[in-house]
């Protein structure tokens, strides 16, 4: 099988990788794609085949390498709107410096942004070599390497992908019209999705500051929010007390003009350490700083002595009662994941319980740790317990502790339970849906009374603990079945977040895979065909299963690049089975009729002992209602061979239908019979 060749030329290597991957996903092996970037250099000559360029201004760069007969196609590209919320949050009139590989590309991006309705800011295209400019934000479509050195926050909205008109043009150019219906449906879904995402981003941007104010006014710490352009967007009542400033005089002003102490301003705007101690109006306070996409949240806690914090932290670290992960370490750029992270960040500021729901392997403990580190309890212990791993007899003694002599084998002097050890911090109850009814009642009592009593104890002990619980079960169904107490559910479900499964955010697979490869260090690349297989997988075990698969491939790989033969066998088998089952459903009525004709022609030829070449099939088709050229027949035979419906032999052997092909033929006829 020798598919037609397409050459892809881009300006930067990052753009090349993104567009090459997109074309592979769309056309798979039906078109052979070779790609090059100006950054990495072009070959001396190009073989026969059309050349797709990512931007019109690359034509000049290409002139020395092509002939006057070369067919050059210009890609129409589209913006990924998932990352535009930061841009929408900027105050009206803010200046946005737009950086791309060329001035023309920057101007084209500005035109597309304005067409999307983003007209409240002033866009300025960056010209290479320019040294004097004013900007509140620097924006780039995956080409921030060209950005000038400047203190303004940066927003990378990702590489602009190839748009629907160019995809359709390529399908027609390579006589893949039978794919048009699939591609059109996919592009329409993408367009609707993009419009929905933009609408949600606009709505989210308008509601963000209102939601933040609602949360921060109900927390026990001071909270200051600073926009990407340096304007204070949140300043709660606790801050008014700590800094002795009126919110009305601070909110909406540039932080430099807010009246805050200069050393506090300097740390909030440019600080590197996660927290720093300050003396504010005669009181010791710790300020914790978090920055995402240029937006800063600072929380301020009153502390008695720094030494108390340090010694307690050392003791918790020794016991393993620490949270390693922060929100910045959660990998994901899909809108559903960004929304989940954004919600979790806001909920972290509260003291109320949080219920994290998600399938196995989605990263529930990762979120729990990030919530702890994003809260006012970050300087306290983080204690995690897997409820499903504890028997009923052990559960109460582990959670509530026990007094001396409580049972045979009990420690002399008794033992503190996990509630006591989590005092002043966070207790993470993983797999909460697995605990028995009796234990649910005990846990509910603690949440209501904020007191525990050790096993065999007579005294109640007050505890100050924030609960974060997690489950991969549907607790509402368990509650309806009488297996989970409704009163406990509503105590735990004050705030809830739903972590999306990996199959619903497949655009995150490449960046997750890249991160897992980076951690390994030895193997640095993954063949694009392997990535294509990973993108097709359903990932029932989610991120954990993806990581396990990559760990397996790293273990068996012999070189610097992971190849198709390194894939776990079960992944390959599942893909082939899924593709075969899905194939008839993805075809148009005409596609089905053409494939029935081709397979019937091959079947009859095979039964008569005659060869079935694409030329013969093409000649026979001309007598019917759907004449096919030899090249069209070749593409359809490539499709059938890829799914193991036919085998193609050389010379007089011709093409033969397989048992799977016979099943497929019967399936197609059944589908056609229903029309």
Contact 161, 80 (CB under 8 A): yes
The most confident of 42-56, 292-306, 356-370, 593-607, by mean pLDDT: 356-370
Residues 66 and 187 in one domain: yes
In whole angstroms, what is the distance from residue 595 CA to residue 637 CA? 9
Q: What is the CATH number of the domain that holds 24?
A: 3.40.50
Contact 137, 90 (CB under 8 A): yes
Give me the pLDDT at residue 499, please: 94
Give 334-350 as a 3 state SS string: CHHHHHHHHHHHHHHCC
Residue 367 has pLDDT above 90, yes or no: yes
Question: What are 74's strand-pairing partners?
Answer: 53
- Which residue, 271, 303, 335, sits at the end of a domain? 303
Give me the pLDDT at residue 218, please: 52
In whole angstroms, what is the distance from residue 86 CA to residue 338 CA? 12
Q: pLDDT digit string (tens) for 111-123?
A: 888 877 778 888 9
Contact 435, 482 (CB under 8 A): no
Residues 178 and 143 in one domain: no
Q: Domain range holding 664? A: 587-673
Q: How confident is the model at residue 362 (pLDDT cuts 50, 70, 90)?
A: very high
Q: Long-range CB contacts (< 8 A, 24+ apart) of 529-534?
A: 529/24, 529/564, 530/562, 530/563, 530/564, 530/566, 530/567, 531/21, 531/24, 532/24, 532/25, 532/28, 533/564, 533/567, 533/571, 533/572, 533/575, 534/509
> Does the reported pTM lie above 0.85?
no
CA-based angle 468:471:472, to the nearest 5? Answer: 150
Contact 30, 6 (CB under 8 A): no
Task: Give the residue, 119 or 358, on which the prediction is more confident.
Answer: 358
3-class state of residue 77 by DSSP: strand
Q: pLDDT digit string (tens) for 404-431?
A: 766 555 566 678 888 888 888 899 999 9
Residues 6+ apart with CB under 8 A from 495: 347, 350, 352, 353, 354, 355
Residues 66 and 176 in one domain: yes
Give me the pLDDT at residue 586, please: 58
Residues 31 and 153 in one domain: no
Asked if residue 353 is part of any domain, the answer here is no
Compute CA 31 distance to the chain's CA centroid, rounded to the nearest angstrom: 28
Name the nearest CA neighbour of 142 among 160, 130, 168: 160
Residues 603 and 577 in one domain: no
The single residue listed with the structure tokens 């931007």 is: 55
Residues 232 and 94 in one domain: no
Asked if residue 262 is part of any domain, the answer here is yes
Residues 50 and 193 in one domain: yes
Name the nearest CA neighbour of 332 among 546, 598, 168: 546
Residues 519 and 562 in one domain: yes
Give me the pLDDT at residue 211, please: 46
Number of structural domains, the chain? 5
Name the nearest CA neighbour of 436 among 383, 382, 399: 399
What DSSP string describes 583-595?
GGGGS-HHHHHHH
Residue 1 has pLDDT above 50, yes or no: no
Residues 42 and 189 in one domain: yes
């Amino acid at each position: 099988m020798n598919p037609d060749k397409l050459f892809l030329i881009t300006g930067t290597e990052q753009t090349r990788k993104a567009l090459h991957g997109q074309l592979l996903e769309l056309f798979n092996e039906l078109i052979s794609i070779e790609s090059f970037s100006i950054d990495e250099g072009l070959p001396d000559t190009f073989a026969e085949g059309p050349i797709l360029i990512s931007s019109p201004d690359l034509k000049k760069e290409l002139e020395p390498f092509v002939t006057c007969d070369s067919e050059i196609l210009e890609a129409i590209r589209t913006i990924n709107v998932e990352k535009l919320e930061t841009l929408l949050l900027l105050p009206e009139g803010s200046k946005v410096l737009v950086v791309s590989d060329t001035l023309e590309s920057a101007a084209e991006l500005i035109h597309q942004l304005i067409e999307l309705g983003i007209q409240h800011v002033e866009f300025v295209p960056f010209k290479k070599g320019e040294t004097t400019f004013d900007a509140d934000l620097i924006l780039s479509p995956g080409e921030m390497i060209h950005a000038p050195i400047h203190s303004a926050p940066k927003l990378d909205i990702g590489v602009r992908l190839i748009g629907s008109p160019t995809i359709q043009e390529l399908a027609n150019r390579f006589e893949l019209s039978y794919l048009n219906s699939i591609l059109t449906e996919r592009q329409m879904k993408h367009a609707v999705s993009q419009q929905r995402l933009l609408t949600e981003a606009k709505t989210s941007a308008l509601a963000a500051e209102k939601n933040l104010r609602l949360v921060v006014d109900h927390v026990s710490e001071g909270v200051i929010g600073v926009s990407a352009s340096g304007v204070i967007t949140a300043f709660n009542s606790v801050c008014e007390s700590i800094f002795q400033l009126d919110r009305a005089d601070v909110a909406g002003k540039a932080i430099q003009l807010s009246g805050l102490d200069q050393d506090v301003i300097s740390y909030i705007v440019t600080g590197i350490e996660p927290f720093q101690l300050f003396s504010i109006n005669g009181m010791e306070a710790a300020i914790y700083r978090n920055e995402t996409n240029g937006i800063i949240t600072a929380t301020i806690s009153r502390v008695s002595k720094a030494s108390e914090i340090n010694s307690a932290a050392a003791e918790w670290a020794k016991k393993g009662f620490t949270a390693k992960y922060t929100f910045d370490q959660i990998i994901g750029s899909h809108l559903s994941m960004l929304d989940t992270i954004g919600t979790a960040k806001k909920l972290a500021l509260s003291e109320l319980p949080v219920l994290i729901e998600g399938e196995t392997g989605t990263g529930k403990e990762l979120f729990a740790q990030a919530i702890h580190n994003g809260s006012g309890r970050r300087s306290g212990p983080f204690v995690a317990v897997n409820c499903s791993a504890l028997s009923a007899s052990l559960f109460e003694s582990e959670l509530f502790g026990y007094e001396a002599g409580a049972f045979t084998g009990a420690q002399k002097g008794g033992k503190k339970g996990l509630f006591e050890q989590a005092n002043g911090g966070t207790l993470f109850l993983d797999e909460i849906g697995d605990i028995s009814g009796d234990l649910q009642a005990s846990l509910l009592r603690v949440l209501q009374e904020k007191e525990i009593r050790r096993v065999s104890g007579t005294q109640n002990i007050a505890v100050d603990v924030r609960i974060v619980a997690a489950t991969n079960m549907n607790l509402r169904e368990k509650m309806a079945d009488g297996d989970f107490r409704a009163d406990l559910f509503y105590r735990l479900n004050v705030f809830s977040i739903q972590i999306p499964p990996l199959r619903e955010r497949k655009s995150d697979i490449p960046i997750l895979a890249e991160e897992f490869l980076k951690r390994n260090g030895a193997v640095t690349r993954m063949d694009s065909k392997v990535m294509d297989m990973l993108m097709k997988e359903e990932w029932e075990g989610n991120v954990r299963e993806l990581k396990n698969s990559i760990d397996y491939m790293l273990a068996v790989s012999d070189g610097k690049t992971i190849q198709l033969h390194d894939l776990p066998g079960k992944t390959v088998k599942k893909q082939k089975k899924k593709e075969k089952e899905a194939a008839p459903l993805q075809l148009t009525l005409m596609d089905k009729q053409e494939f029935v004709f081709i397979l019937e022609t091959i079947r009859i030829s095979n039964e008569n002992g005659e060869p079935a070449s694409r030329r013969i099939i093409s000649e026979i088709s001309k007598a019917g209602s759907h004449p096919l050229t030899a090249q069209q027949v070749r593409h359809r035979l490539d499709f059938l061979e890829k799914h193991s419906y036919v085998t193609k032999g050389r010379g007089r052997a011709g093409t033969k239908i397989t048992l799977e092909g016979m099943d497929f033929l019967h399936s197609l006829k059944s589908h056609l019979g229903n029309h």
